[in-house]
Chains A and B, each alone.
Chain A
């Protein structure tokens, strides 16, 4: 099948590669662009490990073909920390609160929580739980993640996300 050229802005940089239309955005980021921080768990939209921001909105990159995102502005987990390597407030909170163990699901959680707190800097407990429902974690039992989101919300309220 003929390849098509896909041009994206990824973490502030203009990137492009030619791929088959059936290549998902997740595979496009991981393979030609070598941004392997975006993880693939289920590859059919259930687990949330592949969550990235497309034009600022959190989406599952396994449910989007790279060609559909042509021209979009994408942020992956590699673009969440500051350019000098300082962790973002959400990343720091996950580290402080034991919000991860094996780390496989963590990029998806960090990206989802970042988008959620930008829109809801003062969330209720119920809103936090609902926002986390789209990401699965098999290690932590979620309590550390809930603590991390509450801690990161303090930073969100100070406008630091």
Chain B
């Protein structure tokens, strides 16, 4: 038994959880699947007086098409997303990212919202949410608001949500037309956090020109990132002219605060990042072109 003592609350409804959050203030922490939080508690990197377990709130789970988007409840387990045909057909990038999270035993407990709210810059779901311009549905005892993915991630393990707010669901835009998606990451062992990774979407027009593209970067900053300058340069160009290694190099330009630790220097990470972008670009472009 390693975590410090805490009081446990298990609300059955979102409203009850929000009331508890408002009453208990900073001493309370939401517990979703626990696959990031419980290790932190075990190592005492985090100590909280109260844990509010949102795992028994049924209304936080589900996968539904809403207004041309795919809404996924924050409490939906990663294993459910991995097996969902709706996710595979509507948001292929999310479906392809899921098997890269931890191990199957972790995905049996871990949730979509838990991963996104935890906001680890090397995690798959924050990077995919940012790449796809997902919208976060955030609730508190005072009401409900939407935060765009580009505004959501603030820093390492920190988001723009207030302490009284809870992530209820995430809406993923459904790309139409001739699009292709790929995620590539490099980790020392399967299931480890990536040293660097890339999550890419490309949509082509009828003439094989890039109508739009999204290049999400994983593990290359204190938050997940987008290679927006590279995206802007690539838009409108014929996809055949966008060489994967050139896209990889472009995507690494201007990156700041690339992490440095015993797994690699910033320079090494950028080389790996460029290679992951190149690989993901090649595969997404192939899918967009050939279906």
Contacts and interface: CB of A to CB of B under 8 A. Distances in A.
Query: Do they bind each other?
Result: yes
Interface string A1-39: 110100000000000000011111001000000000000
Contacts of A44: 2, 38-39, 42-43
Interface in B44-71: 51, 53, 55
B266 interface: no
Contacts of A92: none
Given A45-B35, A133-B191, A134-B191, A65 B103 contact: no
B42 A21 contact: no
Interface of B: 1-8, 10, 31, 34-35, 38-39, 41-43, 51, 53, 55, 79, 99, 102-106, 108-109, 189-191
A90 to B, nearest CB: 16
A48 B105 contact: yes
Contact of A51 (B41, B79, B105, B191): B105
Main secondary structure of the interface of B (DSSP, over half): loop
Contacts, number: 86
Main secondary structure of the interface of A (DSSP, over half): mixed
Contact of A22 (B6, B10, B43): B6
B35 A63 contact: yes
Contacts of A116: 104
A45 B38 contact: yes
A130 to B, nearest CB: 6
B103 A134 contact: yes
* Interface bracket on A: 20 to 34
Contacts of A68: 10, 31, 34, 53, 55
Given A1-B6, A1-B7, A67-B8, A24 B1 contact: yes
Interface string A36-71: 000000011100100100100111101111011000
